[in-house]
A and B are shown apart, each in its own frame.
Chain A
Amino acid sequence: MSGFPYAGYAGQYLRVNLSTCTIQKQPLPLEWADNFLGGNGIGIKILWDEVPADVNPLSPENKLIVSTGPLCGSPIPNAGRLEFIAKSPLTGIYGDANAGGHFGPALKFAGYDLIIFEGKSPKPVYLYIHDDKVELRPAGQLWGRGTFDTEAALQTEHRDPNLRVACIGPAGENLVRYASVQVTYRRSAARSGMGTVMGSKNLKAIAVHGTGSLRIADPQRMQALAFKLQQRIHDNPFYASIHTYGTPGLVALMQPIGRFPTQNFRYGSFEGFENISGEALRENHIERDTACFACPLGCDKIYSVTEGEFKGTLTSSVEYETLNALGSRVCVRDLPAVLKSNELCDDLGLDTISAGSSIAFAMEIAEKGLLNQEEMEELDLSWGNYHTVIELLERIAYRQGFLGDLLAEGAARAARWLGRGADAYAMHVKGQDISAQDGRAQQSMGLAHATSSRGADHLKAFPVIDETGAPAEAIRRYGKEYLPDLVNPLATKYKAFLVKDGEDYGAVVDSAGNCKSGGTFVMAEIYWQEQAAAIQTLTGMDMPVERLKAIGERIYNLMRCYNALHGITRADDTLPWRFTQIPSPSGNAKGSVCHLDIMLEDYYHLRGWDVQTGLPTLETLSRLGLGNAYLELQAAIASGESRAAYSSLGWAAPYTGKIKDSL
């Protein structure tokens, strides 16, 4: 929209009320862009303003925000990301999920920075966007179909092979609490149950075709900057390994570190790792390399299975996390079976991390005798039984039977429902399953999981510099003063600094619309300085680094306030007992536990949050222009609103009691 003062933005957004079937095109408020940039920055601003603490995540009053950022669709490398933001049905607190692919740029090219979905449609619908034309259309014929089929059906119906689709599968329709949104082509916005929110609103899909373009404030400088950053990424020492193997290349590296979660985090290394490594994937299953919008890295690959029981499997976005969650976490060493499981998760619309974690939880409680024969429904829940894994994925997506319905709730809720001491085996933080890191082997990751705004998650802070120690990288980013502790994975010193910096920068990346796996974190060719330059060159906003840092800090603080509104405090910034009490059994981490409390103290001090409660102080929030949020939060705490919200979250707190067993 030409009236918006900044280039790069489309300048308008859609507000879609599914209850009344009305669509409004509204100008993007300048204050949103100035203070929260875009993506999940604007997303948390909308949640804070419009979705109060007493709203059930599955009710029509929850809102789903589908948001791009200013860089999305620009020539800056890796700038094709899209954010889904809502109150999470899995955690009951702030939730978001991010996907690459091509949908985000298409939405911008159609002329919209974001979409807010509110209410609930009486019947299944999808939103169709072709530039100015925006319509809600019936989706009864798509309901019940998998995501692959849904995408193809919409492209056929509109005779448009370039139609970009974001849709849910049966898992979202059946309100599995960790349902994903699948985004063209086969990318997943998987975490926090954003697909569940779509299902609760009877929203099957969003389909978009945009033919416009972005206005660039300084085209010549933008061309030069984009070229320079592309070149720097291509020349970076990390390029070859990530381009060739993608994140699956990490499997072998995590093994000697002792950070490859195995058997529901009981172990940190997996004897069958060679079978499910990135090297084995490339050697035996590669079809071709592929890439998201404007990405010079191309970490994604398409894989196939051409023989054996799982012949015909064709799948992509097989990540390190996939190989862990559906591989070593459940002790499966059969790679074709893992690929089949990934294909199923994508088609059914399931988060692979939470799906694998829920099944690992089931296998462990079965081993401990906490499930009776009738409840196991003739399934063999032995570790490594991939037929059971595949069968359970189907049952979970359709909520079939006792186990399917139970595990569709996620491990943390299932543990609360079951009782029997099952909470000790639900590996989660704030209701969200822990991804494939282990704070015993990398202290910073333990802190990152504990403080992440969407529950357990490595990607909010994404502290990668101390994974195996990278002194040259540390000096380049932070100078020499933090060495050697900063890059020692087992040291706690400076890890709060690393996590806070990552959370603030991550908030900026997710709000600007570029990718954390690309040049922003691992390679850091696009770090604070370059990110600020990119935003300024594209939009024309005055964006010194200090302003960008304040935006990142503001976003992260508002997310914390939103969670605190739901009763979250320091007591919830924790890790299950295994991480803090059981020494890591293997690898470089052997004998180490995660010293979370030491790092948390440092973290709250650095954040300017109260060390006792973990809540942002008036001074901190006022500095960030969030003084009103402080007052609203304190009022909610005083009135008991926060306590009431906390009591309805529904998950069993991570078990932190006495040691259950030695491993």
Chain B
Amino acid sequence: MITIHVRYYNILAAYANRKNQTVELMEGSTILNLIEAVAQENSASFREVVMLDNRPSPHLRIFCNNALVDEKQMDSPLAEGDEIIFFPALSGG
């Protein structure tokens, strides 16, 4: 098992009712697996922001250890202690 540290901001923190979450995943798990796991564990409002048609929403913004994650990296394996940050659709300044 690996431990992943997850941080939520903006409406995701409000919908999850928490700012941080520690998630245990099987070794070799990917960012996509993580998204599916946290979508399952949190509220329906949270899921609506994170998922679209059973896929990660294209508007979800994800950082892995402070690096932006693009669509192609969804299947990249996570490592023990990785920090993942989730933002909803957010832009502007």
Q: Which residues of A contact B (CB under 8 A)?
A: 236-238, 240-242, 244-245, 247, 249-250, 252-254, 256-258, 277-279, 319-321, 436-437, 458, 464-465, 467-472, 484, 489, 517, 521-522, 586-588, 590
B57 touches A320 (CB 8 A): no
Which of chain A's residues have a CB closer than 8 A to the CB of B49?
A: 237, 240
Convert B7-49 into 0s and 1s, putting 1 for each residue whose CB lies closer than 8 angstroms to a CB of A. 0011101100001000000000000000000000000000001
B10 touches A437 (CB 8 A): no
B66 touches A472 (CB 8 A): no
Which of chain B's residues have a CB closer than 8 A to the CB of A320?
A: 92-93
Given contacts A279-B13, A468-B61, contact A586 B66 (CB under 8 A): yes
A445 to B9, CA, bound (A): 24
A588 touches B92 (CB 8 A): no
Given contacts A252-B10, A253-B61, A437-B93, contact A241 B88 (CB under 8 A): yes
A237 CB, nearest partner CB in chain B, Å: 4
Q: A241-B90, A489-B68 are in contact. List 13 more A-B contacts (CB 8 A).
A: A242-B90, A250-B90, A250-B91, A252-B87, A254-B93, A320-B92, A458-B93, A464-B91, A467-B92, A468-B91, A470-B91, A471-B70, A522-B92
A249 touches B66 (CB 8 A): no
A380 to B2, CA, bound (A): 48
Which of chain B's residues have a CB closer than 8 A to the CB of A279?
A: 9-10, 13, 19
A252 touches B63 (CB 8 A): no
Q: List 8 A-B contacts (CB under 8 A).
A: A238-B90, A240-B11, A249-B90, A250-B93, A277-B9, A470-B59, A471-B71, A588-B66
Say yes or no for B1: interface residue by CB 8 A criterion.
no
A240, A464, A472, A489: the one within 8 Å of B88 (CB): A240
A469 touches B70 (CB 8 A): yes
A244 touches B59 (CB 8 A): no
Which of chain A's residues have a CB closer than 8 A to the CB of B59?
A: 237-238, 470, 472
A241, A252, A256, A521: the one within 8 Å of B66 (CB): A256
| Max chain A C-beta neighbours (<10 A), residue from B10, B89, B91, B92 | B92
Which of chain A's residues have a CB closer than 8 A to the CB of B70?
A: 469, 471, 484
| Max chain A C-beta neighbours (<10 A), residue from B9, B13, B67, B70 | B9
A244 touches B66 (CB 8 A): no
In the complex, which residue of chain B has the Cβ closest to the Cβ of A324?
B93
B87 touches A587 (CB 8 A): no
A472 to B93, CA, bound (A): 19
Which of chain B's residues have a CB closer than 8 A to the CB of A237?
A: 49, 57, 59, 88-89
Which of chain A's residues have a CB closer than 8 A to the CB of B13?
A: 279
A78 CB, nearest partner CB in chain B, Å: 13
B89 touches A238 (CB 8 A): yes
In the complex, which residue of chain B has the Cβ closest to the Cβ of A521?
B92
A253 touches B71 (CB 8 A): no
A241, A256, A484, A590: the one within 8 Å of B11 (CB): A241
Say yes or no for B85: interface residue by CB 8 A criterion.
yes
A13 CB, nearest partner CB in chain B, Å: 32
A136 to B19, CA, bound (A): 55
In the complex, which residue of chain B has the Cβ closest to the Cβ of A445?
B93
A241 touches B93 (CB 8 A): no
A100 CB, nearest partner CB in chain B, Å: 14
B7 CB, nearest partner CB in chain A, Å: 9
Given contacts A237-B57, A278-B10, contact A588 B68 (CB under 8 A): yes
Which of chain A's residues have a CB closer than 8 A to the CB of B93?
A: 247, 250, 254, 319-321, 436-437, 458
In the complex, which residue of chain A has the Cβ closest to the Cβ of B58?
A472
A253 touches B14 (CB 8 A): no
Which of chain B's residues have a CB closer than 8 A to the CB of A464?
A: 91-92
A249 to B59, CA, bound (A): 16
Convert B52-93 into 0s and 1s, putting 1 for each residue whose CB lies closer than 8 angstroms to a CB of A. 000001110101001110110000000000000101111111
- Give the top 10 A-B pairs by smallest Cβ distance, nearest first: A472-B58, A320-B93, A237-B89, A237-B59, A256-B63, A252-B9, A238-B89, A464-B91, A250-B93, A256-B66
B10 touches A468 (CB 8 A): no
Which of chain A's residues have a CB closer than 8 A to the CB of B58?
A: 470-472
The count of residues in chain B whose C-beta lies closer than 8 Å to any C-beta of chain A is: 25
A590 to B65, CA, bound (A): 12
A250 touches B92 (CB 8 A): yes
B50 CB, nearest partner CB in chain A, Å: 11
Given contacts A241-B88, A586-B66, contact A249 B71 (CB under 8 A): no
A245 touches B91 (CB 8 A): no
Which of chain A's residues have a CB closer than 8 A to the CB of B66?
A: 256, 258, 586-588, 590
In the complex, which residue of chain B has the Cβ closest to the Cβ of A258?
B66
Which of chain A's residues have a CB closer than 8 A to the CB of B14?
A: 244
A268 CB, nearest partner CB in chain B, Å: 11
A240 to B68, CA, bound (A): 22
B79 CB, nearest partner CB in chain A, Å: 18
In the complex, which residue of chain B has the Cβ closest to the Cβ of A250?
B93
A95 to B39, CA, bound (A): 48
Which of chain B's residues have a CB closer than 8 A to the CB of A254?
A: 93
Given contacts A252-B10, A279-B10, A471-B58, contact A238 B91 (CB under 8 A): yes
Which of chain B's residues have a CB closer than 8 A to the CB of A458?
A: 93
B9, B71, B91: the one within 8 Å of A467 (CB): B91
In the complex, which residue of chain B has the Cβ closest to the Cβ of A319?
B93
A236 to B57, CA, bound (A): 13
A475 CB, nearest partner CB in chain B, Å: 9
A437 to B93, CA, bound (A): 7
A242 touches B68 (CB 8 A): no
A513 CB, nearest partner CB in chain B, Å: 20
B6 CB, nearest partner CB in chain A, Å: 13
B10, B71, B85: the one within 8 Å of A245 (CB): B10
A269 to B61, CA, bound (A): 18
B9 touches A468 (CB 8 A): no
A245, A257, A436, A437: the one within 8 Å of B68 (CB): A257
In the complex, which residue of chain A has the Cβ closest to the Cβ of B93?
A320
Which of chain A's residues have a CB closer than 8 A to the CB of B88?
A: 237, 240-241
Which of chain B's residues have a CB closer than 8 A to the CB of A471?
A: 58, 70-71
Given contacts A249-B90, A464-B92, contact A241 B68 (CB under 8 A): no
A128 CB, nearest partner CB in chain B, Å: 36
In the complex, which residue of chain B has the Cβ closest to the Cβ of A299?
B92
Given contacts A237-B57, A240-B11, contact A469 B68 (CB under 8 A): yes
B57 touches A241 (CB 8 A): no
A245 to B91, CA, bound (A): 12
B11 touches A244 (CB 8 A): yes
A383 to B64, CA, bound (A): 31
A464 to B61, CA, bound (A): 14
Which of chain B's residues have a CB closer than 8 A to the CB of A256?
A: 63, 66, 68, 85
B47 CB, nearest partner CB in chain A, Å: 14
A517 to B14, CA, bound (A): 23
